[in-house]
Structure 1
Amino acid sequence: MIDVQRLRVLRAVAEHGSFNKAAGALLLTPSAVSQHIAALERTLGHPVAVRSTRGAILTEAGRLLVEAAEAISAELDQVRREIDRLTAPRPRLTLATFTSGGRHLLPAALARFVAAHPEVELTVLESEPEAAAPMVRGGAADLALAYHFDGPPPVGPGERPPLDWVPLMEDPLRLVVPRGHRLAGRASLGLAELSAERWVIGCLKTESFLRRYAERAGFELRVAASTTDYFFAQSLVAAGVGISLVPTVSLAPSPEVTVVQLEPPRPTRHIGLLLPRRRRPNPYTQSLTEALTPTAHRTARP
């Protein structure tokens, strides 16, 4: 039987690239690390690490063991959290969310969840997707409401422990122009028609995304204002500073601006949930996912 402590030592050797550095990280002597690795190799019947002048290199068997060790460690961490929940006065659920998605999608869903599970101590943490994914992996959050633009979901196929992506809705970006703008009466338009306009940016991610689309359309983006708040950006549009591209869930109705749909290919945010991949799903996580799904469907606009 493979000893879990020896797997922990092998993971440290893989991470630090040498027996000596692994020993320092684990507060062991290099001799103790060598003994653990030797015992692991005797149990396995195959070498797992080869020492060289540059440190230690894992064999193929060693790499397979490290992958298994990471999965085992994640499972043990999950079991520990489940045991903590069993012994805690109340079960707990922590949700990470980005601001605009949380503002529009969470209130109704959380009201249903709290009514169905009054025993749960619910915590909501504001976090952008790039920070939320490590929170879910590390156990600081049980799930995260997140989004991505082009490309695959932010689950990282090589990341450990792995995450699952549960899509909720498409959130197309809309053009917001001042009332009375020359394009305000259009039902839809292409991005290339906006080459002469000055832009108000509501999010740094939107800016980089928009610059790519502008380049494809054959023009250079002219930025009049840059903010980190879509609602502030729309206020600047109403003041005549420029036009803006705003996700559907972040639109703030105002008589001072007009919303125009962009023609395909239109920039779109894909909103979903990041969940830890588990053999036994957390029932509270499942319940909150089910509460969010109809809310997302009602919020999505064509």
Structure 2
Amino acid sequence: MDFTDVSLTALRVFRAVAEQGTFTAAATALGYTQSAVSRQIAAIERAAGAEVLERRRDGVRLTSAGLVVMRRATVVLDEIDAAARELSGLPAEGGTVRLGWVPTAGTTLVPYALAALRRRDPGVHVVSREGGTPALVRALRAGSIDLALLAAAPPFRTPDAESPPLVVQTLTERALCLAVPVAHPLARRDWIDVADLRGQRWIAGSISGSDRLLGVWPGLDERPEIAHTARDWLAKLHLVAAGCGITTVPSALAPAAPPGVRVLPVRGGPQETRRLLLARLPGPQTEPVVRLAAALRAAALGTDTVPNP
């Protein structure tokens, strides 16, 4: 094995592929061609004398050799970035924590936790970003983030099957609710019967992939009429306020609902719940990571009971 000819560019590309999950997504994120990404990965695999990525139909995942290379590559890239900051006269990032969060966590929990942390530990600097659960798990594995807030739905399987297992803690478990216009017939009571959901117009998620029915009540016994699609939760809620349809929401989003929207529980049929998980890689934690995790847990306790508007 000889890594002397492996460039920093190759290491950055490797981390991007591991984080994005596909060569195509990594190429798009980096502004490279897919063939350029493939060449950089090939260079790392020649140096390692082994495949660092397992190519699968649904993307790629790190092999055992890839995990070793990624762990070392992360150290190298972090040190290079630290050197660049020091040479530029910028402060060191010793107190920095990188946090990833699913969109529903960004409405209340993340802002509350960061505000509390800033008051209590102003020396801890948090850099955060939004993403879907699969992307955030890959970012944890790639060493691009330190902590992740992930979403989980029944049957609540582990976020991934990779080794070593992630350290995962459930912060909240709440019932899935419905957002309906205040003038809608379903808004007349303080709860909605699942039998009344037939024939409704729905505001759903993306029009492709597994997000197709995100926003439609699970297990609906008919083909739903999807009137509008939107990725952004706030856009969905404003469409509801405009009377364009109804959509599912975690109860944590109730405080973010605009005027003209009621967030109501659903009765009848199996109860639908959603969990918010705090995840990290196993191993020692820095003090800033410990402090941020504590702030997130405290915020989760403080926002666990959300009244309906």
The question of whether the paired residues in 2 share the 8 Å contact of 1:137 and 1:160 is answered with no
**Can you list the C-alpha shifts for 1:153-178, whole angstroms capped at 9, x where unaligned?**
45312x14432211111243211222
* Structure showing greater Rg: 1
The question of whether the paired residues in 1 share the 8 Å contact of 2:216 and 2:224 is answered with yes
Query: Does 2:143 align with 1:139?
Result: yes
Instruction: Give the structure 1 partner of residue 123 of structure 2.
Output: 119
3-state secondary structure, aligned to 2:305: coil
3-state secondary structure, aligned to 2:186: coil
Name stretches of at least 5 consecutive residues in structure 1 with no aligned partner: 6-21, 38-65
**Percent of paired sites with the same residue:** 26
The question of whether the paired residues in 1 share the 8 Å contact of 2:167 and 2:281 is answered with yes
Query: Does 2:187 align with 1:184?
Result: yes
The question of whether the paired residues in 2 share the 8 Å contact of 1:71 and 1:160 is answered with no
Name stretches of at least 5 consecutive residues in structure 2 with no aligned partner: 4-41, 51-62, 87-91
Query: Does 2:103 align with 1:107?
Result: no
CA distance in 1, matches of 2:231, 2:136: 18
Superposed displacement of residue 126, structure 1: 2.1
**TM score, norm. by length of structure 1:** 0.67
Instruction: Give the structure 1 partner of residue 233 of structure 2.
Output: 230
3-state secondary structure, aligned to 2:141: helix
Q: What is the CA RMSD across the aligned residues, in angstroms? A: 3.6
| Counterpart among 197, 200, 204 of residue 203 in structure 2 | 200
CA 1:84 to 1:207, structure 2 compared with 1: closer, same or farther past 3 Å?
Answer: same
Instruction: Give the structure 1 partner of residue 276 of structure 2.
Output: 271
3-state secondary structure, aligned to 1:183: helix
CA distance in 2, matches of 1:202, 1:148: 17
Superposed displacement of residue 231, structure 1: 1.7
CA distance in 1, matches of 2:71, 2:159: 18
The question of whether the paired residues in 1 share the 8 Å contact of 2:98 and 2:145 is answered with yes
| Counterpart among 25, 46, 58 of residue 26 in structure 1 | 46
Letter of the structure 2 residue corresponding to residue 178 of structure 1: P
CA 1:239 to 1:107, structure 2 compared with 1: closer, same or farther past 3 Å?
Answer: closer
Instruction: Give the structure 1 partner of residue 224 of structure 2.
Output: 221
Superposed displacement of residue 208, structure 1: 2.9
Q: How many residues align?
A: 245
Instruction: Give the structure 1 partner of residue 177 of structure 2.
Output: 174
Superposed displacement of residue 291, structure 1: 0.7
CA distance in 2, matches of 1:167, 1:234: 26
CA 1:72 to 1:201, structure 2 compared with 1: closer, same or farther past 3 Å?
Answer: closer
3-state secondary structure, aligned to 1:180: coil
Superposed displacement of residue 85, structure 1: 11
**TM score, norm. by length of structure 2:** 0.65
CA 1:27 to 1:82, structure 2 compared with 1: closer, same or farther past 3 Å?
Answer: closer
Superposed displacement of residue 180, structure 1: 2.6
CA distance in 2, matches of 1:95, 1:108: 14
The question of whether the paired residues in 2 share the 8 Å contact of 1:144 and 1:273 is answered with yes
Q: Which moved more, 1:198-207 or 1:170-179?
A: 198-207
CA distance in 1, matches of 2:134, 2:98: 17
The question of whether the paired residues in 2 share the 8 Å contact of 1:155 and 1:164 is answered with no
CA distance in 1, matches of 2:169, 2:247: 29
3-state secondary structure, aligned to 1:213: coil
Q: How does 1:242-253 map to 2 (within 5 A)?
A: 242-251=245-254, 252-253=256-257
CA distance in 2, matches of 1:24, 1:232: 43
CA distance in 2, matches of 1:73, 1:140: 14
**Can you list the C-alpha shifts for 1:83-140, whole angstroms capped at 9, x where unaligned?**
8899973312111122331231112211232344433342112222111111111111
Instruction: Give the structure 2 partner of residue 53 of structure 1.
Output: none
Superposed displacement of residue 149, structure 1: 1.7
